[in-house]
Amino acid sequence: MTLRICLAGATGWAGSELARGIAACADLQLVAAVSRKNAGRVLGDVLGDARLAGSVHASAADAMAAEPCDVFVEYTKPVSAKANILTALAHGAHVVVATSGLTTEDYAEIDEIARQKQRGVLACGNFALTAVLLQRFAEAAAKHLPNWEIIDYGSATKADVPSGTVRELVTRMSKVRKPDVTIAPDKANGPGEARGATMEGIQVHSVRLPGHVLGVDVVFGMPDQTLVLRHNAGSTARPYVDGGLLAIRKVSGLVGLHRGLDKVLDL
């Protein structure tokens, strides 16, 4: 059976690479795309790939009304992501979420509606296998090491802080245990902000500078020893394609919201 896909953000940096990846798969068909700037055009003409014959629409609602799909992939911006996801669920589609910046409250609402509709939502802060493994290794380390903080690296133009990868990591690690914070922000000698933001009991520091794309350090400390788990992304979107394709193929086997690509990996 061929899965029919609608991709929101299909002309973006990562979305366009995923669109080409979908076009190369015999079991997937990209039937529609969402991009306000290129609405009314054929996606293949926009991306220079004749395999992509789906039309581009100005909104998720327009795309879903014109071309029913099995899986909706959200790869736009935080400001539009939640509305797009809820629109897709309302139209009976399963959803893969690649957009960062959604809050815990957003995900709770999405989960409730997905369960009402008996549809799956797979939200992945990062589709790269190295990032998925970092999350799993960090959860394992947190069971044994009581002190840690997270450093989140992003480009100078990345406005959401922290990244979706780190938001997901924070949620997952906090469920293992809350770290022992040695110096709480309100006890610091100096600006408490220098200790970073406290998210679900974890100190998170977001760096936004030229030269970075996406990176995460989880720094664990014990007397006279430290452990640093690090994931760094390169300058292309290619590492995210295989994980995105896997998520598209697997999301229909889920009901409700599930966070992390490892939920559909045999790890």
Q: pLDDT tens-digit profile of 100-144? A: 778 889 999 999 999 999 999 999 878 888 998 999 999 999 999
Q: Say what the pLDDT of residue 101 is.
A: 78
Q: Say what the pLDDT of residue 100 is.
A: 78
Q: Say what the pLDDT of residue 78 is.
A: 87
Q: Say what the pLDDT of residue 59 is.
A: 96
- Evaluate if residue 266 carries a pLDDT over 80: no
Q: Say what the pLDDT of residue 239 is.
A: 86
pTM exceeds 0.85, yes or no = no
Q: Say what the pLDDT of residue 104 is.
A: 86
Q: Say what the pLDDT of residue 126 is.
A: 84
Q: What is the mean pLDDT of residues 234-248?
A: 91
- Evaluate if residue 267 carries a pLDDT over 80: no
Q: Say what the pLDDT of residue 20 is.
A: 97
Average pLDDT, the chain: 94
Q: What is the mean pLDDT of residues 58-83?
A: 95
- Evaluate if residue 57 carries a pLDDT over 90: yes
Q: pLDDT tens-digit profile of 4-16? A: 999 999 999 999 9
Q: pLDDT tens-digit profile of 157-210? A: 998 899 988 998 999 999 999 999 888 898 999 999 999 999 999 999 999 999
223: region left, alpha or beta (phi > 0 left; psi from -120 to 50 alpha): beta
Q: Of the ranges 41-50, 67-76, 125-134, which one carries the lowest mean pLDDT score?
A: 125-134
Domains of the chain, with CATH numbers? 3-123+237-264 (3.40.50.720), 129-233 (3.30.360.10)
Q: Say what the pLDDT of residue 235 is.
A: 84
Q: pLDDT tens-digit profile of 20-40? A: 999 999 999 999 999 999 999
Q: What is the mean pLDDT of residues 67-75?
A: 97
